[in-house]
Amino acid sequence: MNRPIRALLLIWLALLVVLGLGVGVALLELGTWSLVLNLALALLMAALLVAVFMDLLHAAPVIRVFALGALLWVFLLAVMLPVDYLTR
Amino acid sequence: MSDTVTIASHFEDAEQQREAGLMGMWLFLATELMLFAGLFGAFGIYRGLHGEAFAEAARHLDLPLASINTAILLTSGLTMALAERSVQAGLIVVARRWIVATVALGAVFLVIKGYEWHHEFAEGLMPLLGLPFDYDGSHPAQAELFFDFYFAMTGLHALHMLVGLGALAVLWVLGRPQPGPRADRYIRQMRITGMYWAFVDVVWVFVFTSLYLLRS
Amino acid sequence: MSEPETHYLNDGWTLRSWLLTTDHKRIAWMYFATITAFFFIGGLAALLVRLELLTPAGDMVDSDTYNKLFSAHGIVMVWFFLVPSIPATMGNFLLPLMLGARDLAFPKLNLLSWYIFTLGGLFTMTAVIAGGVDTGWTFYTPYSTLFSNSAVVLAASGVFVVGFSSILTGLNFIVTTHKMRAPGLTWMRLPLFCWANYATSLIMVLATPVLSMALLLIVLERALGIGIFDPELGGDPLLFQHLFWFYSHPAVYIMILPGMGVVSEIITCFARRPIFGYTGMVISIMAIALFGFIVWGHHMFVAGQSLYAGILFSFFTFLVAVPSAIKTLNWTATLYGGRIRFTAPMIYALSFLGLFTIGGLTGVILASLAVDIHLHDTYFVTAHFHYIMVGGMVTAYLGGLHFWWPKITGKLYSGPWSIVAALALFIGFNLTFFPQFLLGFLGMPRRYHAYPEEFQLLHVMSTLGAGVLAVGYLLPMVYFGWSLWRGKPAGDNPWDATGLEWRTTSPPPKHNFVDTPTVTGRPYDYV
Ligand code: HEM
Ligand SMILES: [Cu+2]
């Protein structure tokens, strides 16, 4: 609950830095590497947003389990959906 | 504390009421996540099938402008978090200023987005409603598919922004300094709106990455 | 025995006191009324379909109309009856009572879900009247996109809207189960009905949005004239099937898990024995909810999905049958050595057991990749899912209604007539759908209104059976109506059942309990 202003500002700066990195990586056009790095950076930004701006860090244990569950379900979709397309 | 809080008749105490509300919001956001997961899943499949065409189409978008816009949205996430913090500290007047800042940043984001859409419309890159699609790259058909997704994704995100802005406007109106039980309720509403707003940021991060950044 | 003086039913008689109520018990009634209406609308379409199939020639309606009839039947029955059936009515009514709570966690949201449900229903009914839909209940692309001239946008929007109603109900149930349990009611003391609704709610919350997105993409494709699934642009019509079944296979468990919950309650009560293997039951409920998500490809074996994906999905589908088998085993073991009372609810529950087993086993047959090449899109599939959805879920719905009717209304209904109705259902059902297994096995495809002569006998049997089945569904309307009007007071606990819902008066007071109950032991302490 009591997130100090300094922490919030730091996270905001971190987000902007990661954004800059992402744009940089995209502009370098490294092909598959850009793809992987850009997705990783997006996940990192999402993690920061969820952990601090949505305050998952201080949420009750059940809530953290829920968040993990939601992630697992996205993962299920992300893993199972391409199976067909990758093996056609 | 509990004597200053209104508790709905079916709850036992303020703690239960607060936790139930928070849990409900988290679950709601989980469904929102799955909603977008379906959309991104579909996009991901096509990105895999037509990688080259999609990368080329992505280069037709305005990356600099969108990057600035992303920074604006992330900043609005910060102001929202500050608004929440102020409310929790009992500083309603300050909180309302942060709300104004958040709304302003959100509105700027939408204006810029609208400008981008208009630009694409003018370039003939808006294959909606039978509008002509004038594309100069080497895979016009798949590019059209890309732009279909572009408008579906950014449009759906903008819709979520509008809902968030509406909620913020309500919070601003409700937020005249009040004593007692209302304050507690206001804190809860603020928290829930803050979560929603941050979630909309998360969605944008993925929209931005998928559409603008995957260009090679 | 006498009725309590004040209870939720006589707390206000105005229309307003119903339409603006936030009492979960009254909202349950509103759902009862709405889904019963949908059940009879869907039933009417089924009646027309069965009448057409009496003769080999397609003579009663033309093929376009026939397509619209079975689509209307499927759409109404699946989305507007079966998905909400048990959760929105009995779940709504009983979950707070079983948990010892005064209401669901979000009473206003509960009311809102009913309005959303009704709104979605209106959309879809408008579509059915204004031209109809010919895509089948699955809205497959490209039938629903490139090649449809019917009211797809409206119908799909209706289903889209209704999705939010189930999402909100699921969300409400989950939070309620987590946060509103009475003192002493730990997770492993929850009645299985609560567990079943909890698992169902998880599926509703996590799967429904993916369906919403799939439908939204269809609506966008048609309304904005874009080409998300259009092969000419490099789109893939199969992608829609993937997204659709990512929801809809789990959704078939939305359409059976609550029934399993109901049956568990009934069987222990009338066998007078605690449920066999409670922990195993809980684990299998949750396992079904989880593994239901990784088998969807078994609907696409012959649709053009890759062979390797087919093999994987076939394998997972065999696995998902295991928890269902465990449950069937446990119910049977509960019966073993019990002092069984053959009341109407028990007959429904036993019918469920038999019909669900047949439905489940034929599912395993269909899950065998090679066999499905022959059986896919035949009447065998139709029979399979009707054995589960109608023989299983609708039977459980009626069983639950008969079990809790005295609690819900405070009245008793006719014992003999209810037994007649339950038996009519069992006989009528088998007569209707068993011939369809044979038809499918002999190669009769589904969704055709004309067929070769040699299939006629089986089709006639099926149509006659549907007549008997209809009696089984209409009869309860009569004696339930009578019971409301003239029924004897039921008393708090006419079946001598355990569970918190039986500890309050029938009908319950507005806030469910006079004093919050406490729980000190495991559920089902019969004997
Ligand atoms: C015991 C586990 C089950 C297994 C192994 C199983 C297996 C299958 C398979 C392999 C198919 C595809 C057949 C084909 O289209 O060729 C199928 C279709 C179907 N199943 Fe099941 N199933 C099971 C349980 C259920 C349940 C519980 C329900 C509903 C409550 C259900 C409802 C359906 C429906 C509606 C279809 C056909 C959908 C359509 O094409 O219109 N199944 N099942
Ligand atoms: Cu399935």
pLDDT tens digits, residue range A20-38? 999 999 998 888 888 999 9
C515 belongs to a structural domain: no
> How much distance in Å is there from the Cα of B39 to the middle of ligand 2?
22
C146 within some domain: yes
Contacts of C180 in chain B (CB under 8 A): 10, 16, 20
Q: Average model confidence (pLDDT) for chain C? A: 92
Burial class (CB in 10 A: 0-12, 13-18, 19+), C108: exposed
Q: How many CB atoms lie within 10 A of CB C22?
A: 18
CB C189 within 8 A of CB C96: no
Residue A54: pLDDT above 60? yes
Assess A87–C contact: CB distance below 8 Å, yes or no.
Answer: yes
Interchain pair C171, B36: CB under 8 A: no
Q: Fill in the DSSP letter of residue C521.
A: S
Distances (CA, A) of B131 to B121, B149, C469: 9, 16, 54
**Does the residue B2 lie in any domain?**
no
Rounded distance between C-alpha atoms, residue C45 and residue C85, angstroms: 19
pLDDT in tens, C349-393: 999 999 999 999 999 999 999 899 999 999 999 999 999 999 999
pLDDT exceeds cutoff 90 at B196: yes
Burial class for C59, CB neighbours closer than 10 Å (0-12, 13-18, 19+): exposed
Ligand 1 closest atom vs CA C393: 30
CB of C106 within 8 Å of any CB in chain B? yes
Check if C298 has its Cβ closer than 6 Å to any atom of ligand 1: yes
Q: Which domain, by its residues, includes C189?
A: 15-503
- Please say whether the beta carbons of B184 and B4 come within 8 A: yes
Q: Is the CB of C394 under 6 A from ligand 1?
A: no
Average pLDDT of C247-267? 94
Q: How many other C-beta atoms are found inside a 10 Å radius of the C-beta of residue A10?
A: 12
Q: Are B212 and B61 in contact (CB under 8 A)?
A: yes
Residue C343 has pLDDT above 80, yes or no: yes
Q: Is the CB of C254 under 6 A from ligand 1?
A: no
Residue C509 lies in a domain: no
Residue B112 pLDDT greater than 70, yes or no: yes
A1 pLDDT higher than 70? no
Asked if C428 and C472 count as a contact pair (C-beta separation under 8 A), the reply is yes
Residue A74: which of B37, B45, B212 has the nearest Cβ?
B37
Q: Is the pLDDT of residue A18 over 80?
A: yes
DSSP secondary structure of C59-80: -SS-HHHHHHHHHHHHHIIIII
Cβ proximity of B79 and B155 under 8 Å: no
Whether residue C2 has pLDDT greater than 70: no
Q: Is residue C285 part of a domain?
A: yes
Contact state of B81 with A50 under an 8 Å Cβ cutoff = no
C356 CB neighbour count, 10 Å cutoff: 25
Over residues B153-190, the pLDDT tens digits come to 999 999 999 999 999 999 888 877 665 656 778 888 88
Task: Give the ipTM of the model, two decimals please.
Answer: 0.93
Q: How many domains does chain C have?
A: 1
> Which residue shows structure tokens 């109603």?
C165
What subunits make at least 3 CB pairs under 8 angstroms with B?
A, C
Residue C360 alpha carbon to ligand 2 centre in Å = 11
Helices (H) and strands (E) in chain B, counts: 6, 0
Q: What is d(CA C235, CA C240) in angstroms, rounded to the nearest whole number?
A: 10
Nearest residue of A to residue B40, measured between CA atoms: A78
């089924």: which residue's tokens?
Answer: C46
B129: closest CA of chain A, how far (Å): 30
Q: What b/e string do you get for B29-56 counting C-beta neighbours within 10 Å, with b at 16 or more?
A: bbbbbbbbbbbbbbbbbbbebbbebbbb
Residues contacting residue C296 through CB under 8 Å, at least 6 positions apart: A80, C242, C245, C246, C248, C249, C250, C313
Find the CATH number of the domain harbouring B105.
1.20.120.80
Contacts of B27 (CB under 8 A, 6+ apart): A66, C171, C174, C175, C205
Tens-place pLDDT, residues C212-239: 999 999 888 888 888 888 888 888 889 9
Q: Is the CB of C292 under 6 A from ligand 1?
A: no
Question: How many Å apart are CA C39 and CA C34, to the nearest integer?
Answer: 9
Percentage of chain C lying above the pLDDT 90 cut: 74
Planar angle of CA B30, B186, B35, nearest 5 degrees: 15
Number of domains in chain B: 1
pLDDT of residue C150: 66
The fraction of chain B above a pLDDT of 70, given in percent, is 95
B1 within domain boundaries: no
CATH number for the domain including C379?
Answer: 1.20.210.10
**Separation between Cα atoms, residue A60 and residue C179, nearest integer Å:** 13
Residues 35-64 of A with CB under 8 A from C: 62
d(CA B45, CA B55): 14
Nearest CA in chain A to B192: A54
Residue C513 lies in a domain: no
CB–CB of B56/B136 below 8 Å? no
Residue C240 to residue C146: CA distance in whole angstroms: 13
Q: Tokens 């990356």 correspond to what residue?
A: B63
List the subunits that have 3+ CB pairs under 8 angstroms with A: B, C
Q: Which residue type does C47 have? A: L
Q: Tell me how close the Cα of A1 comes to any Cα of chain B, in angstroms.
A: 8
* Dihedral pair phi/psi, residue C101, rounded to 5°: -105, 165
C327 lines ligand 1 (CB under 6 A): no
Selected residue with higher pLDDT from A44 and B9: A44
Lowest mean pLDDT among C94-98, C155-159, C391-395, C402-406: C155-159
C320 and chain A in contact, CB less than 8 A: no
Assigned domain for C7 exists: no
Q: Assess whether the C-beta atom of C364 lies below 6 angstroms from ligand 1.
A: yes
Assigned domain for B4 exists: no
Q: Kindly list the distances between the CA atom of residue A14 and the CA atoms of A28, A46, B206, C314, C492, in Å, as whole numbers in the listed order.
A: 21, 12, 17, 46, 62
Ligand of minimum distance to the alpha carbon of C447: 1
Mean pLDDT, to the nearest integer, of C393-416? 94
pLDDT value at residue C277: 92
For B177, the domain range is 14-213
The pLDDT of residue B15 is above 90: no
Quick one: how far is CA C416 from the chain centroid? Answer: 26
* In-domain check, residue B8: no
